[in-house]
């Protein structure tokens, strides 16, 4: 009689080995996000959508200005905006803040802060 694995990880390793032998290529990474698909779509659409790469560069320039010129209501707000300016996603910002034990942080909270600050940036630099 064969020895049966008793843990999820052991079973997972066995099945992933079987899948790899059969030629299966999983499109998900271990954390649940898709491999490459989102970046491929973003890269291909960046040229055509929302004004292309020039618009993204202008957005980044304005976001950087706001980071250094604006009087943020809190240090947490400033840190969230700084992470955003440095290219972190809402998910990554949330995970980073949770690692340093910021309790009230979730994706919805980070999203609301970013939306508020984006509107402030637009009002300050674009909608004069």
Domain containing residue 82: 54-126
Q: What's the mean pLDDT in 51-69? A: 86
* 95 and 128 Cβ atoms separated by less than 8 Å: no
| CA-based nearest residue to 78, from 126, 114, 105 | 114
pLDDT band at 87 (very low <50, low <70, confident <90, very high): very high
> Has residue 26 been placed in a domain?
no
> Has residue 41 been placed in a domain?
no
> Has residue 8 been placed in a domain?
no
Q: What is the per-residue pLDDT for 51?
A: 66
Selection from 5-14, 41-50, 92-101 with the highest mean pLDDT: 92-101
Q: With a cut of 70, say whether residue 47 has pLDDT above it.
A: no
> Has residue 119 been placed in a domain?
yes
Tell if the pTM clears 0.85, that is, is over it: no
Q: What is the per-residue pLDDT for 42?
A: 55
> Has residue 93 been placed in a domain?
yes
Q: What is the per-residue pLDDT for 128?
A: 67
| CA-based nearest residue to 121, from 75, 64, 77 | 64
42 phi and psi, to 5 degrees?
-65, -45
Q: pLDDT tens digits for 12-35?
A: 888 888 888 888 877 777 777 776
Percent of the chain with pLDDT over 90: 45
How many domains, in total, are found in the chain?
Answer: 1
Beta bridge partners of 34: 28
Q: What's the mean pLDDT in 32-56? A: 63
CA torsion 42→127→75→92, rounded to 10°?
-10
> Has residue 48 been placed in a domain?
no
Q: Which two tokens stand for residue 48?
A: 């055509």
> Has residue 88 been placed in a domain?
yes
Distance CA 121, CA 127 (A): 9
Largest CA distance in the chain: 77
Poorest-pLDDT segment among 61-70, 96-105, 114-123: 96-105
């Amino acid at each position: 009689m064969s020895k049966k694995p008793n843990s999820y990880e052991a079973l997972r390793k066995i099945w992933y080995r079987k899948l790899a032998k059969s030629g299966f290529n999983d499109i998900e990474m271990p954390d649940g996000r898709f491999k490459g698909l989102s970046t491929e779509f973003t890269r291909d659409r960046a040229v055509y959508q929302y004004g292309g790469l020039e618009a993204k560069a202008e957005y980044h320039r304005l976001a950087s200005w706001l980071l250094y010129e604006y009087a943020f209501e809190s240090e947490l707000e400033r840190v969230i905006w700084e992470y955003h300016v440095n290219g972190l996603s809402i998910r990554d910002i949330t995970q980073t803040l949770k690692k340093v034990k910021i309790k009230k942080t979730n994706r919805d909270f980070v999203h609301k802060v970013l939306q508020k600050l984006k509107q402030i940036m637009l009002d300050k630099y674009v909608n004069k």
